[in-house]
Structure 1
Amino acid sequence: MLTGKQKRFLRSKAHNLDPIFQVGKGGVNENMIKQMNEALEVRELIKISILQNCEDDRDTVAGALIEGTKAELVQIIGKMVVLYKESKEHKEIRLPI
């Protein structure tokens, strides 16, 4: 579980990131979750864009992504979701205590 200070730190890191995944009409599926897990292992922090044609609302999409990837929710702002998951082999981000 992330503290408020850690979330602020991660939000500042995510500010300059471009979204590397898009959730569209098909919603969240197993293949997408698998790819996100691989990206989280390498990057630790990812930004996901929810497209206009997505049938689910942003909270439902974020919940499905968190459940599937076992990542921590950093932020939902507009149609963007930011997730963090500590990497086992490529740890780069040092969270404040």
Structure 2
Amino acid sequence: MITSKQRSYLRSLANTLNPIFQVGKDGIEANFLKQIDDALEARELIKVSILNNSEYGAREASDEICSELGCEGVQSIGNKIVLYRRSKKNPRIELP
């Protein structure tokens, strides 16, 4: 669990990120979760876009992904979510 100060710091880092994944009409499948898992291990902080034709809202998608992968939902605004998980092999982001 991250504190509000850490969450604020991660939001500031994610401000300049572009979404690297999209949740569409296929929803959240095992292959999609595997790709997000790999990206979280490599980058630690990612942004995901939720398309209008998705059956999930931004908050629902964030909760579903975080419960499956054990990551933290940093932010959910509009149709974008920001996810964070500390890398096991190569941690890059130092939280305050």
Q: Normalising to structure 1: TM-score of the pair?
A: 0.95
Q: Which runs of 5+ in 2 are unaligned?
A: none
What CA distance in whole angstroms lies between the structure 1 residues aligned with 2:78 and 2:57? Answer: 11
What corresponds to 1:20 in structure 2?
20
Matches of 1:82 and 1:61, distance apart in 2:
11
In structure 2, distance between residues paired with 1:57 and 1:15: 20
Whole-Å separation in 2 of the counterparts to 1:57 and 1:78: 9
Indicate the residue corresponding to 2:9 in structure 1.
Answer: 9
What RMSD in Å do the two structures reach over aligned CA positions? 0.7
C-alpha displacement of 1:58: 2.1
In the alignment, structure 1 segments of 5+ residues that lack a partner are none
CA distance in 1, matches of 2:57, 2:74: 17
Report the 3-state secondary structure (helix = DSSP H, G, I; strand = E; otherwise coil) of the residue aligned with 1:42: helix
Counterpart of 2:88? 88
Q: Deviations over 1:10-49 (max 9, x none)?
A: 0000000000000000111111111101000000000000
Q: After TM superposition, what 4+ stretches of structure 1 lie above 4 angstroms from structure 2?
A: none
The equivalent residue for 1:41 is 41
Q: TM-score, normalised by structure 2?
A: 0.96
- For 1:56 and 1:93, locate their aligned partners in 2 and report how far apart those are by CA, in whole Å: 29
Provide the aligned length of Structure 1 versus Structure 2: 96
For the residues of structure 2 that align with 1:50 and 1:8, how far apart are their CA atoms?
22
Within 2, Cα distance between the matches of 1:69 and 1:20? 17
